[in-house]
């Protein structure tokens, strides 16, 4: 799918596919929240930070607040660049145990260089790609 157009819809599709990978966490009392297309469903409102995906445990049963154990930011071909890395730094500063950045396979080296050169506290870099059936897959690129 070399000629695929990278769009907001692709970004949001990757968020949805990634969220499915955490289904077992819900059995352990965690919640999975996503913020596709700039939505602000869950995050740190006081800092204006709403990660693309958050895995979090409610402070109170049935509550909407809690502690995040994993956050993810999903990038597309167009969004892996220096100014976007400013946002990664803000998420890294929150101190969530696992901050995972997910980028297209073609941008993994560039993202890795940005993380290293700017000393951003991301714990894991993954990439996504489309298989022959057009299905999104994930692979770990590096753990920091």
65 with 42: CB under 8 angstroms?
no
Of the candidates 114, 111, 136, which has an alpha carbon nearest to the alpha carbon of residue 4? 136
* CB atoms inside a 10 Å sphere around CB 92: 21
For tokens 């692709």, name the residue.
Answer: 10
pLDDT at residue 4 tops 70: no
- End-to-end alpha-carbon separation of the chain, Å? 30
Return d(Cα 52, Cα 57) in angstroms, integer.
17
Rounded to an integer, the average pLDDT of 15-20 is 98
Q: For 5, what's the count of Cα atoms within 13 Å in the CB-facing half-sphere?
A: 3
pLDDT of residue 102: 98
pLDDT of residue 6: 55
Give residue-wise pLDDT tens across range 84-121.
999 999 999 999 999 999 999 999 999 999 999 999 99
Return d(Cα 49, Cα 51) in angstroms, integer.
6
pLDDT of residue 1: 38
Give residue-wise pLDDT tens across range 35-76.
999 899 999 999 999 999 999 998 887 777 889 999 999 999
pLDDT of residue 78: 92
Listed in sequence order, the DSSP H helices in the chain are 8-20, 23-26, 82-94, 108-118
pLDDT band at 15 (very low <50, low <70, confident <90, very high): very high
- As a residue count, the chain comes to 144
């Amino acid at each position: 799918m070399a000629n695929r157009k990278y769009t907001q819809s692709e970004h949001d599709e990757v968020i949805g596919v990634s969220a499915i990978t955490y289904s077992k966490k819900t059995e352990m009392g965690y919640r999975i929240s996503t913020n596709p297309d700039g939505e602000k469903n869950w995050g740190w409102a006081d800092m204006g930070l709403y990660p693309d995906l958050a895995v979090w445990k409610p402070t109170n049963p049935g509550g909407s607040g809690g502690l995040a154990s994993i956050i993810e930011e999903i990038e597309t071909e167009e969004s892996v660049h220096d100014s976007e890395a400013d946002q990664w730094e803000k998420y890294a500063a929150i101190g969530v145990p696992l901050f995972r950045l997910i980028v297209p396979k073609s941008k993994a080296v560039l993202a890795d260089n940005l993380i290293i050169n700017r000393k951003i506290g991301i714990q894991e870099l993954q990439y996504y790609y489309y298989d022959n059936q057009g299905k999104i897959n994930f692979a770990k690129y590096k753990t920091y």
